[in-house]
Amino acid sequence: MLNVRVGTELESRLDMLSKETGRTKTYYVKEALERYMQNAEDIYLAESRLEDIKMGKSKTYTLKQARELLNASTNWQKTVKEINKLGSVAANKIYDYLEELEDIDPRTKWKTLSGKLNHLWRYRVGSYRILAEIQDDKIIVLVVRVGHRLNVYK
């Protein structure tokens, strides 16, 4: 329970509003406090994050980087579905290999394709192939397609 004292002008405004709408003054005070608290919490969170950034505890991203990360995340979801369709044994081998990429430059093990697909790289995992685009400035591997060697190039 909370008691709130307000000035006469604010109380008269609340009286008029409650008469016009049929809602209680308590309803409007609670709604106003709820909105204020949401804003106050957002401001506190923003100030806290800003302090983390200033102290080097949080990383910042440019709009371009944020878009790239979001796009990579969306593409990765599609890739995961493709990999999972291959069966658990093949999928596990592919996931294991992709995890190893964090420690190596993929160009040392991958081969470039020719023809229309010459902008892509490929790597063999048993009978399966990973087709990817390697963005040189950051060594980002964007997996374009994963599939059996007979179907992946189509």
Q: State pLDDT tens for residues 35-88.
A: 888 878 878 777 887 888 788 887 776 766 666 666 666 667 777 888 888 888
Q: At what angle do helices 63-84 and 88-100 cross, to 10 degrees?
A: 150
Question: pLDDT at residue 143 above 70?
Answer: no
- Give me the residues paired with residue 122 across strands: 111, 131
Closest by CA to 110, choosing from 127, 79, 84, 133, is 133
Q: Encode pLDDT of 11-50 as tens digits.
A: 999 999 999 999 999 999 999 998 888 878 878 777 887 8
CB 35 within 8 A of CB 43: no
Q: What is the pLDDT of residue 76?
A: 72
Q: Determine how many CB atoms are found less than 10 A away from the CB of residue 80.
A: 14
Question: pLDDT at residue 136 above 70?
Answer: no
CB 130 within 8 A of CB 146: yes
Closest by CA to 58, choosing from 67, 49, 66, 45, is 49
Written as six digits, the tokens of 90 are 């093949």
Q: What is the pLDDT of residue 63?
A: 64
Query: From CA 113, how far away is CA 131, in angstroms rounded?
Result: 9
- Transcribe 50-71 into DSSP letters: HHHHHTTSS----HHHHHHHHH
Q: Where does residue 113 rank: exposed (0-12), middle (13-18), buried (19+ CB within 10 A)?
A: middle
Cα radius of gyration rounded to whole Å, the chain:
28
User: For the whole model, what pTM was predicted?
Assistant: 0.46
